Amino acid sequence: MLQRVEMMRNISRTHVLIILTLLLTILGATYIYSGDAISSFRFCEPCEDNPQLPLTDAMKDLKVKDCLENGAWRIGDLKMQTGLHYAQPSTQKGRTDVNSVTNWNAPLVWDGTFDPVVTDAIYKKMDPRVAVVVFAVGKYTRFLKGFLESGKKYFLVGFRVTYYIFTDNEQEVPKVELGSGQKISIITIPSAKRWQEVVLGRMKWATITIDKQIRNEADYLFMMDIDSVFYNPVGGESLSQLSAVLHRGYYKNTNRDAFPYERRPLSEAYIPAGEGDYYYTAAVWGGYLEEMYKLVKYCYMKSEEDKKNGIEAVWQEESHLNKYLLYNKPTKVLSPEYLWSDYDAVPADIRVKRISQLIKDYKEVRPNGGH
């Protein structure tokens, strides 16, 4: 009897030990797993020139694969190589004629608020695959040549860039020799009778094509108007989780109640008086691929809902974009240097015209004319 009791005691002690070990293992695994998930601010950096992290080729492959499988390219540690020469940054001197930070503490990017030597070095190290989605439907194919040729010269030079050209006329896509790491991918879409259809259709086709193709090929996405040209460098300083550009028409002295937001409550894009930060353009916006996917799909879904209710937002996807960005703040706001217009003279605070809308004859170029 005593022996049995002793045995039972031994068994239960062994059991307790086993259960405890199991529990500890599970706890440990959960901790490591969640630690990994939380540290999603790591990114797929090429580590070959980082002396602290000697990686074999096999390890490098593993790391990149792991990152891609999580769809998790992120702007991570702001690492820079040793030996880079650039002007010493100051805590006292900088732009004083403009505000370079938003009231939610995000950078407001103007020439003179960053050193491109530093920003490019940092962001090139992260080596994102950048997708640029542009539409050239109907007569808008005429803008492709200037856009691509100037992009080659000024847009994210030294980065991996693929231009996704959505068009109804593949024959009209010019053969432009791009730089190393720069590619073109053509996606055929139907023609349209109304320009509004093309403009809003961008949200639908981008959503579908990200799902089908782009998600596997890119980490970062820009949406841009094709009637644009690059005049000066746009580099790593423009990249963030979600970057939006101030519309040149309303950036300086416009009261928020005078922003051309959608003001009819029936529309999903409705923003009431008394609310608003800035008015952003829909002609240049960018961010992490998945962030942009969320936003592009949001604009698509919201415009479909509007359609059901027999309404179209006053500035189409731009209205939905502005609503989203009011409640989901962008992590970088780019000054109108990133989308000026050849229609307008350049004021003193726009020291560099980086991207600009071309002058066009709206009536002539659009399928249903006019504004």
Ligand X SMILES: CC(=O)N[C@H]1[C@@H](OP(=O)(O)OP(=O)(O)OC[C@H]2O[C@@H](n3ccc(=O)[nH]c3=O)[C@H](O)[C@@H]2O)O[C@H](CO)[C@H](O)[C@@H]1O
**Interface contacts to ligand X, rule CB under 6 A:** 134-138, 140, 195, 198-199, 225-227, 247, 281-283, 315-318, 339, 357, 366-367
Q: Which is nearer to ligand X, 306 or 317 (CB)?
A: 317
290 is in an annotated binding site: no
Distance CA 280, CA 247 (A): 5
Residue number, nearest CB to Mn ion: 225
Asked if 318 is part of the footprint of Mn ion (rule: CB under 5 A), the reply reads: no
Percent of the chain that is helix, strand, coil (3-state, to 5): 40, 15, 45
d(C-alpha 28, C-alpha 15), whole Å: 20
Q: Which does 281 bind (CB under 5 to 8 A by kind): ligand X, Mn ion, none?
A: ligand X
Smallest distance, ligand X to C-beta of residue 189, A: 10
Residue 247 marked ligand-binding: yes
Q: Is 303 or 356 the residue whose CB approaches Mn ion more closely?
A: 356
How far apart CA 198 and CA 135 sit, in angstroms, is 8
User: What size, in residues, is the chain?
Assistant: 371
- For the bound state, the minimum distance from the C-beta of residue 188 to ligand X, rounded and expressed in Å, comes to 13
End-to-end CA distance of the chain: 98
Taking the least distance from each CB to Mn ion, the nearer of 237 and 318 is 318
Helices (H), the chain: 2-38, 57-69, 116-126, 144-154, 195-212, 289-308, 316-327, 362-365
- Cα–Cα distance, 355 to 245 (Å, whole number): 11
43 annotated binding-site participant: no
Q: Measured between alpha carbons, how far is 89 from 146 in angstroms, rounded to an integer?
A: 36
Alpha-carbon span 188 to 179, nearest angstrom: 24
**Residue 318 appears among annotated catalytic residues:** yes
244 binds, among ligand X, Mn ion, none (CB under 5 to 8 A by kind): none
Q: Which residue, 195 or 293, is less far from ligand X as judged by CB?
A: 195
Question: Which residue, 74 or 354, is less far from ligand X as judged by CB?
Answer: 354
227 is in an annotated binding site: yes
Minimum CB separation of residue 363 from Mn ion in Å reads: 15
- How far apart, in Å, are the Cα atoms of 2 and each of 11, 270, 335? 14, 81, 85
Distance CA 169, CA 166 (A): 9
Nearer to ligand X, 75 or 198 (CB): 198
Residues 6 or more apart whose Cβ sits within 8 Å of residue 274: 256, 257
Interaction partner, residue 199 (ligand X, Mn ion, none; CB < 5-8 Å by kind): ligand X
Which one of ligand X, Mn ion, none is in contact with 367 (Cβ closer than 5 to 8 A by kind)? ligand X
Closest approach, Cβ 80 to ligand X, in A, equals 34
User: Distance (Å, rounded) from C-alpha 215 to C-alpha 16?
Assistant: 48
In the structure encoding, which two tokens stand for residue 361, read together? Answer: 């004859």
Min separation Cβ 194 and ligand X, Å: 8
Residue 339 vs residues 251, 343, 348, 364: alpha-carbon distances, Å: 12, 12, 15, 23
Which partner, Mn ion, ligand X, none, binds residue 129 by CB below 5 to 8 Å per kind? none
Q: How far apart are CA 240 and CA 43, in angstroms?
A: 13
Which of 45, 237, 268, 318 is the catalytic position?
Answer: 318
135 is in an annotated binding site: yes
Question: Is 225 annotated as a binding-site member?
Answer: yes
318 assigned to a ligand binding site: yes
CB of 36 to ligand X, least distance (A): 39
Binding-residue pattern over the window 199 to 238 for Mn ion, x denoting contact by CB under 5 A: --------------------------x-x-----------
270 DSSP 8-state letter: B
* Residue numbers at the binding site for Mn ion (CB under 5 A): 225, 227
- Indicate the annotated binding residues for Mn(2+): 225, 227
* Active site residue ranges: 318
* Residue positions forming the annotated binding site: 135-137, 140, 225-227, 247, 318
Q: Summarize the annotated binding site for UDP-N-acetyl-alpha-D-galactosamine as residue ranges.
A: 135-137, 140, 225-227
